[in-house]
Amino acid sequence: MKQNRFSLGVAALPFAVACGALVASIAPGQAQAPQPGWVTVSACTPAGPLIPTNTTESCGSDVLQPILAGLVTTDAKTGAIIEDVAESITTSDNKTWTIKLRKGRKFHDGTEVLAKNFVDAWNWAAYGPNGQSNNDWFSVIVGYGDLNPKAPKGEKPPAPATNRMTGLKVVNDHEFQVELSNPVPVFRAQLSYKAFYPMPDSFFADPAAFGRKPIGAGPFQFVSGAPDSGYKLAAFADYAGPAKPSIKGIDLRIYTSREAAYNDLVAGNLDLLRDIPASKLVGDLWKRDLRGRAVTQPRANIQALGMPYTDANPQLLKPAIRQALSMAIDRKAIVDILFNGIGQPATGWVPPGTEGYQPGACGEYCSFNPEKAKALLAQAGGYKGEIKLYYAGDSEVKSAMDAVCNSIQNTLSITCVTSALSDNATFRSYTRSGKVDGLFPSNWTMDYPSIDNALIPLYSKAGTSNRGAYESAAFDALLDKAAKEETSAAIKTYQEAERLLTAEMPRVPLWNPAMTVGHSPKVRSVTLYANGRIDYSALSLKD
Amino acid sequence: MTGYILRRLLQFIPVFLGTTFVVFFLAWGMPGDPLAGKCGDRECPDAFVAAATEEFKLDRPLIVRYGYYLADLGRGDLGRSFTGRDVSEQLVAAFPATVRLALLAVLIEVLLGVTIGVVAALRPGKAFDTTTMMVGLGIIAFPSFVIANLAQLVFGVRLGWFPVTVSDPTSFAELLLPAIVLALAHQVTLSRLTRSAVIETMQSDYIRTARAKGLGEARIVAVHALRNSLIPAVTYVGKDIGGLLAGAVVVEGVFNISGVGGLIVQSIRSHDGITIVGAVTVVVVAYLFINLLVDLSYAVLDPRIRYD
Amino acid sequence: MTDLIQATSPAPEAGAGPRRRSRSLTGEAMAQLGRSPLVWIALAILVVLAAMAIAPGLFTKVDPQRCILLNSRKPPAYGSWFGFDIQGCDVFARTVHGARASLSVALLATIGSTLIGGVLGLVAGFKGGAIDAVISRVTDVVLGLPTLLGAIVILATLGSSGNGVLRLALVLSVLGWATEARLMRASVLQTREADYVHAARAAGASSIRIALRHVLPNSVAPLLVLATLSLGGYVGTEATLSYLGLGLQPPVVSWGTAISDAQPYLASAPHMLLFPSLVLTVTVLALVLLGEAVRRAFDPRSR
């Protein structure tokens, strides 16, 4: 039985390992003593390297935001654009902009923030072969085309002849000039977006190393961290900007689900949770759980229903049917019941809190009116068959989409069926393919708080996120007109353009979600920016 | 015996290649453009799409890309994921938590399952047997996400007996509650299998012989009956360890464990084919090893089974 | 490559061959079944459930698709015995109408995976050698494949036309047979060395006859245990797939989607989760009790 004894040993191996595991399990785990002056904040796994010009999703942005500083920032209280690294930003024609920098602002590696750090960063991000996801932000700058030569049909784009845009000129260490190819009245507001942030010299030597350990000029510096284990950001001693924090550091803990983070907050293991999940808002559960330790803030975001834009479903191309569908949705009931009244029914295509926001831009078409909806539907000749509402199965929109469908079904007596596609990539591929024959949720998060950012990318003919879905000569003409006006006049023109959208309803506005931030008893004075980010400079701790 | 093990180890090679091939084609065969949705609410700019297409060779035929993958693999390079991280780095980050959780869960499962199974088998149809079965069926009838959430809410949040979530790097103590949750559901099948096998063995002739020889009941159960009844149990446990190494997706999600399950699900959802292939292949190799051990243990448990 | 096994140890005693199935045995088994009150209770429950699945209209007149958001989360009351769910649909109506999809998925998936796994396990264990090696290694690979990946790809390949219940059952069978196959193989390995099998072989019986007549009936018990348990497990799997966003799609109503939709509101509106779960649990209990009793009654060795 020699073999048997051998195999007995083999078979006993896993058991021995398991016994070892038990012994180890009795040993106490590393206690996580909270560092004094630090706050633990919920975060999620960044989808890629932490490079600002290549980060377009919120998980990476949450990590980067406290680290970075740009030319301008928004004032948390008023929402106004204020200078940060810039001392002044001036223009006479909305085309040529002169930007002067404050002296003495430093990166976390000790080097001073100079004009070349902006110009180099912008050139690098705009250079086609670098493939940055924020590449198209620079398309308004003269010379962008040279860095992104058009690809001949069916071929790869040729290598650019240069890597510097002619529209950027360094005047001296603390001043540079930007030449735009057409007037952009809101360019100063655009500069608050992180694509325009400066990069230290070390970035260009090794972008990959930067992606693991980003260096900025913001109030917090990167100490350690990885996408799985979370990040530690310490207050930067040499920070001289407008958002100087009183806390000593931020401990970003990675959560794969916000439910888990919520439970940790209730149990006292977390100081700040951005965005309490809707399921916990229902029935005021969170008010009992947190005893009022929560702050609600409207978010610069609009959730809408996308519409098919090809012959895949000709019935849904009819404006009257779209208007009827829009009027059949009881937005208020959905917001009140599913989000517990947090957020507000959308009355237009621009989120509140945005420069240029006008209430009621959508008029009667965005208010719940069953009679008018039925009348419009009848006038359009009715609707045959069922309406499908597609959404990404891995997102959190299911209950809201079910409710939208039920509302349409109950009001118009059209069968409305929701259909989950397996994931976001599948969902986006399908809804952008032109084959989509039903409705689908379509969200827009503002990159910077100005009305043009809610209109141009989505509804203009050349819009970067339009993809031919909507085309209106009158609308485009207004946008062209606004571009030539000075800011306040331009905003009026944009508002006029927004009202034009009611005619065809390229998207049906649903609601503007608000964000509820929960916090521990240890944290005081939680304030949020309009884009939903936490204002760490205002945070203070009880001792 | 040695020859048998060698043959089994040799079989690893075709299975390994087969797995990478199947998973590679499944992963990249998912519908939809893998680059869609990589730029938040915005559409991705052309420069981004062109650069990513070039880097990941997305415009080449699948079979060519599989060739590149194998060539990299031959150099010990598991490739790079869409997240810009090396797949090997992702695996090294994800596996420790999952392995710990799996070991702990299986340990609890075996202790519970075999004990309950044997005790129930000795008095079939009596109170203990019926009660454990009813409770067990109640447990498996509830989907795992309900039990996991409930356990977290009650024992973690309300009572505070266990940590609510697991930190990274993780400790065994933190993993105890998730391990119990996993073990609870799995022990039901294990105890039922053990019970049915023990009942069967207890009626076999050699047990009768042993009884006739006047051996004590305890010795009969422990030495003769249990050993011969363990084959289905060991098979099931082997499958369980493998399954747990593949990541307990739901439990990992609820308790915020950054393990293999989360990594695979995340990669599937972001259509990150290279990571999927790497992670799944490691899991399959683990299965091969565990099942080899299981097969070898058959010979120990039942002397009539012999390998040569 | 003779993979496995020769009998070594002398059999302790001779003469434990499988008893032949006969009418009298079947009759005896039925009689034994009839004597157990538990079996009658389980049967009664299953008859009610089957009726629900076939003719839900007998149990409720409420339309499960009629959901009024204003009724959201209302607790049980007169006329709405199980209350309303988050969308304001009647939970009782949805539970009754959900029986058909949930039971069909579980039944079809169990049958599918048990058949595939049973046949492959029997062949692998009985034939041994290269066939065993191939089947076993394929089993290893299938065990290692993540269900989520398999489900996404298979569901995508099948498209969204046709019957969602069938599609899901197919996915679960194709991805779920491996455990059954491993278990069956292990059991067959043990049985094929039994004395009665050697005796039958010595008597010149054909391989197929030995496999079907002697090995199969005596090695199928663990598989049946697993099958009865999987029946309940698959109802849960359906719910888990819904939780991961891959489950049955509207307008199909099922217990799984009801449970997965209700789970986030566990703390604020437990009744939405409780009632579908209760019905699910009772169903699983009834199925397993009946399965266990039938197995015991017909198992030649358990008396």
Q: Please tell me which of the candidates C66, C87, C155 has its beta carbon nearest to residue A403.
A: C87
CA distances from B102 to A105, A340, C86, C96 (A): 51, 39, 35, 38
State the average pLDDT over residues B126-153: 84
Inspect the interface and report whether the beta carbons of C277 and B142 lie closer than 8 Å.
yes
Quick: pLDDT tens for C135-178: 998 998 888 777 777 887 788 777 666 678 999 999 999 988 99
Tell me which of B25, B42, B74 is where a domain ends.
B74
Cβ–Cβ < 8 Å for B274, B261: no
Band of pLDDT at residue A160, cut at 50, 70 and 90: very high
DSSP assignment of A254-290, as one string? E-S-HHHHHHHHHTTS-SEESS--HHHHGGGHHHHHH
Q: Please tell me which of the candidates B36, B46, B104 has its beta carbon nearest to residue A429.
A: B36
DSSP assignment of A44-69, as one string? ---SS---GGG--SHHHHHHHTTT--
Residue whose entry in the numeric block shows the structure tokens 């994800």: B94
B163 occurs within a structural domain:
yes
Band of pLDDT at residue A32, cut at 50, 70 and 90: low
- CATH of C2-10+29-302 among 3.30.360.10, 1.10.3720.10, 1.20.58.340, 3.30.565.10: 1.10.3720.10
E strand residue ranges, C145-255: none
Cβ–Cβ < 8 Å for A306, A524: no
Quote the mean pLDDT of chain B. 86
**Structure tokens belonging to residue A225:** 């961290």
| Res C251: pLDDT | 86
Quick: pLDDT tens for C225-246: 788 778 877 877 888 888 777 8
Amino acid at position B83, single letter: T
Mutation target vs B (from C49, C140, C234, C280; most B CBs, 10 A cutoff): C140
Cα distance from A446 to chain B (closest Cα, Å)? Answer: 9
Answer yes or no: is pLDDT of C16 > 50: no
The subunits that touch chain B, with at least 3 C-beta pairs less than 8 Å apart, are: A, C
Inspect the interface and report whether the beta carbons of A148 and B85 lie closer than 8 Å.
no
CA distances from A476 to A461, B142, C270 (A): 7, 56, 52
- Which DSSP category does B284 fall into? H
Cα distance from A208 to chain B (closest Cα, Å)? Answer: 9
- A82 in B contact zone (CB under 8 Å): no
Q: Please tell me which of the candidates C70, C155, C246 has its beta carbon nearest to residue A333.
A: C70
Which chain B residues are closer than 8 Å to C143 by Cβ? 239, 242-243, 284, 287
| Res B228: pLDDT | 78
Residue whose entry in the numeric block shows the structure tokens 């779960």: C277
Mutation target vs B (from A63, A132, A133; most B CBs, 10 A cutoff): A133
- Residues shown for chain A: 543
- A418 in C contact zone (CB under 8 Å): yes
Domain ranges of chain A: 17-66+214-298+515-541, 72-104+114-197, 300-512
Which chain B residues are closer than 8 Å to A208 by Cβ? 84
Mutation target vs A (from B9, B41, B146, B295; most A CBs, 10 A cutoff): B41
Domain covering A72-104+114-197 assigned CATH 3.90.76.10 in the classification: yes
**Which are the contacts of C12, defined by CB distance < 8 A and separation ≥ 6?**
B205, B206, B209
Cα distance from C281 to chain B (closest Cα, Å)? Answer: 5
| Res B38: pLDDT | 86
Cβ–Cβ < 8 Å for A459, A506: yes
| Res C14: pLDDT | 34
SS3 A441: strand
Mutation target vs A (from B55, B146, B174, B258; most A CBs, 10 A cutoff): B258
DSSP assignment of A291-322, as one string? TT-EEEEE-SEEEEEE---STTSGGGG-HHHH
Which chain C residues are closer than 8 Å to A338 by Cβ? 69, 72, 86
Q: How far apart are the first and last CA of chain A?
A: 70
| Res C161: pLDDT | 64
Quick: pLDDT tens for A94-109: 899 999 999 999 999 9
| Res A145: pLDDT | 93
**Structure tokens belonging to residue A532:** 């939903």
Cβ–Cβ < 8 Å for A432, A416: no
- A413 in C contact zone (CB under 8 Å): no
Band of pLDDT at residue C12, cut at 50, 70 and 90: very low
Measuring CA to CA, which residue among B170, B150, B196 is closest to residue B104?
B170
The subunits that touch chain A, with at least 3 C-beta pairs less than 8 Å apart, are: B, C
Quick: pLDDT tens for B56-98: 889 889 999 999 999 998 898 999 998 889 999 999 999 889 9
Q: What is the maximal distance between C-alpha atoms in chain C? A: 76
Quick: pLDDT tens for B252-281: 889 999 888 889 888 888 889 999 999 988
Answer yes or no: is pLDDT of A23 > 50: no
Classify the phi-psi angles of B124: left when phi > 0, otherwise alpha if psi is within -120 to 50, otherwise beta: beta
Mutation target vs A (from C5, C8, C69; most A CBs, 10 A cutoff): C69
| Res C301: pLDDT | 55
| Res A17: pLDDT | 42
State the average pLDDT over residues C266-289: 85
Cβ–Cβ < 8 Å for A10, A172: no
Inspect the interface and report whether the beta carbons of B291 and C140 lie closer than 8 Å.
yes
| Res A27: pLDDT | 41
Q: Please tell me which of the candidates C13, C182, C232 has its beta carbon nearest to residue B137.
A: C232
B79 occurs within a structural domain:
no
Strands A416-421 and A387-392: parallel
Measuring CA to CA, which residue among A154, A197, A402 is closest to residue C262?
A402
Residues 451 through 470 of chain A touching chain B, CB cutoff 8 Å: 457, 464-465, 467
Tally: H helices and E strands in chain A: 18, 21
SS3 C269: coil
Torsion angle (degrees, nearest 10) of CA A302, A307, A309, A313: 170
Nearest residue in A to B251, CA atom: A260
Asked if residue B279 and residue B239 are part of one domain, the reply reads yes
B136 occurs within a structural domain:
yes
Measuring CA to CA, which residue among B61, B95, A426, B280 is closest to residue C150?
B280
| Res A235: pLDDT | 96
Cα distance from A65 to chain B (closest Cα, Å)? Answer: 16
Band of pLDDT at residue B26, cut at 50, 70 and 90: confident
Answer yes or no: is pLDDT of B202 > 90: no
Q: Let me know if the fold of A72-104+114-197 is the same as that of A300-512.
A: no
Which chain C residues are closer than 8 Å to A423 by Cβ? 152, 245
Inspect the interface and report whether the beta carbons of C69 and A330 lie closer than 8 Å.
yes
Cα distance from C37 to chain B (closest Cα, Å)? Answer: 13
Cβ–Cβ < 8 Å for B38, B82: yes
| Res A287: pLDDT | 83
| Res C25: pLDDT | 56
Cβ–Cβ < 8 Å for A65, A216: no
Cβ–Cβ < 8 Å for B227, B118: no
**Which are the contacts of C235, defined by CB distance < 8 A and separation ≥ 6?**
B141, C102, C103, C105, C106, C255, C256, C280, C283, C284
Band of pLDDT at residue C9, cut at 50, 70 and 90: very low
HSE, side-chain direction, 13 A CA sphere, residue A316: 26
Cis-peptide into A198, omega within 30 deg: no
Nearest residue in B to C267, CA atom: B153
| Res C26: pLDDT | 62
Measuring CA to CA, which residue among B85, B273, B286 is closest to residue A229?
B85
State the average pLDDT over residues A411-417: 94
| Res C160: pLDDT | 66
Phi, psi of A233 (to 5 degrees): -120, 125
Band of pLDDT at residue B171, cut at 50, 70 and 90: confident
- Residues shown for chain B: 308
**Structure tokens belonging to residue C300:** 């030649």
DSSP assignment of B183-252, as one string? HHHHHHHHHHHHHHHHHHHHTSHHHHHHHHTT--HHHIIIIIIHHHHHHHHHHHHHHHHHHHHT--HHHH
**Which are the contacts of B230, defined by CB distance < 8 A and separation ≥ 6?**
B114, B194, B197, B301
Tell me which of B44, B74, B104 is where a domain ends.
B74
Task: Output A403 or B214, whichever has higher pLDDT.
Answer: A403
Domain span holding position B226? 91-301
- B215 in A contact zone (CB under 8 Å): no
Quick: pLDDT tens for A48-85: 999 999 998 889 999 999 999 999 998 888 888 999 99
Global ipTM: 0.88
- C175 in B contact zone (CB under 8 Å): no
Answer yes or no: is pLDDT of A4 > 80: no
Q: Is the dihedral of CA B304, B308, C6, C7 positive or negative?
A: negative
Measured distance CA(C172)–CA(C175) in Å, rounded: 5
Answer yes or no: is pLDDT of B299 > 90: no
**Structure tokens belonging to residue A375:** 């009348």
Asked if residue B228 and residue B113 are part of one domain, the reply reads yes
Q: What pTM was computed for the model?
A: 0.88
Residues 265 through 294 of chain B touching chain A, CB cutoff 8 Å: 266, 268-271, 290, 293
Which chain C residues are closer than 8 Å to B230 by Cβ? none
Among the residue ranges A208-212, A474-478, B43-47, the one predicted with the least confidence is B43-47
State the average pLDDT over residues C215-228: 83
Answer yes or no: is pLDDT of C123 > 80: yes
Which chain B residues are closer than 8 Å to C2 by Cβ? 308
Answer yes or no: is pLDDT of C281 > 70: yes
Which chain C residues are closer than 8 Å to B138 by Cβ? 281, 285
Quote the mean pLDDT of chain A. 89
**Structure tokens belonging to residue B30:** 């998912």
CA distances from A305 to A302, A358, A438, A509, B263 (A): 10, 20, 10, 6, 31
Inspect the interface and report whether the beta carbons of C249 and A419 lie closer than 8 Å.
yes
Which chain C residues are closer than 8 Å to A2 by Cβ? none
Asked if residue B209 and residue B67 are part of one domain, the reply reads no
Share of chain B above pLDDT 70, in %: 99
Which chain A residues are closer than 8 Å to B30 by Cβ? 422, 426
- Which DSSP category does A502 fall into? G
Measuring CA to CA, which residue among A300, A302, A298 is closest to residue A349?
A302
SS3 C36: coil
| Res B5: pLDDT | 87
Domain covering A17-66+214-298+515-541 assigned CATH 3.40.190.10 in the classification: yes
Measuring CA to CA, which residue among B292, B267, B291 is closest to residue B78?
B267
| Res A3: pLDDT | 39
Band of pLDDT at residue A266, cut at 50, 70 and 90: very high
Cβ–Cβ < 8 Å for B252, A254: no
State the average pLDDT over residues A415-419: 93
Q: Please tell me which of the candidates B193, B249, B280 has its beta carbon nearest to residue C144.
A: B280
Band of pLDDT at residue A6, cut at 50, 70 and 90: very low
Quick: pLDDT tens for C173-212: 998 899 899 889 988 988 888 888 888 888 888 888 888 8
- C243 in B contact zone (CB under 8 Å): yes
- C136 in B contact zone (CB under 8 Å): yes
Inspect the interface and report whether the beta carbons of C152 and A394 lie closer than 8 Å.
no
Inspect the interface and report whether the beta carbons of A129 and B47 lie closer than 8 Å.
yes
State the average pLDDT over residues C6-25: 38
| Res A34: pLDDT | 67
**Structure tokens belonging to residue A440:** 């689908």
Which chain B residues are closer than 8 Å to C133 by Cβ? 11
Asked if residue B267 and residue B179 are part of one domain, the reply reads yes
Task: Output A243 or A25, whichever has higher pLDDT.
Answer: A243
Measured distance CA(B94)–CA(B100) in Å, rounded: 11
Measure the CA angle with vertex A102, ends A101 and A105; round to 5°.
110
State the average pLDDT over residues B220-237: 81
Answer yes or no: is pLDDT of A411 > 50: yes
State the average pLDDT over residues A255-278: 90
Quick: pLDDT tens for A309-362: 888 899 999 999 999 999 999 999 999 999 989 899 999 999 988 889 999 999
Cα distance from A518 to chain C (closest Cα, Å)? Answer: 18
- B245 in A contact zone (CB under 8 Å): no
Quick: pLDDT tens for A446-503: 988 899 999 999 999 888 888 768 889 999 999 999 988 888 899 999 999 999 999 9
Amino acid at position C271, single letter: H
Domain ranges of chain C: 2-10+29-302
Nearest residue in B to A464, CA atom: B43
Inspect the interface and report whether the beta carbons of C245 and A426 lie closer than 8 Å.
no
- A208 by Cβ neighbours in 10 Å (0-12 / 13-18 / 19+) ranks as exposed
- For residue B225, what is the domain's CATH number? 1.10.3720.10
- Regarding the domain delimited by A300-512, which CATH topology (the fold level of the hierarchy) does it fall under? Dipeptide-binding Protein; domain 3 (3.10.105)
**Structure tokens belonging to residue A163:** 């890597």
Phi, psi of C272 (to 5 degrees): -65, -30
Measured distance CA(C128)–CA(C130) in Å, rounded: 7
Band of pLDDT at residue A156, cut at 50, 70 and 90: confident
Phi, psi of A306 (to 5 degrees): -75, 155
Residues 110 through 129 of chain B touching chain A, CB cutoff 8 Å: 110
Quote the mean pLDDT of chain C. 81
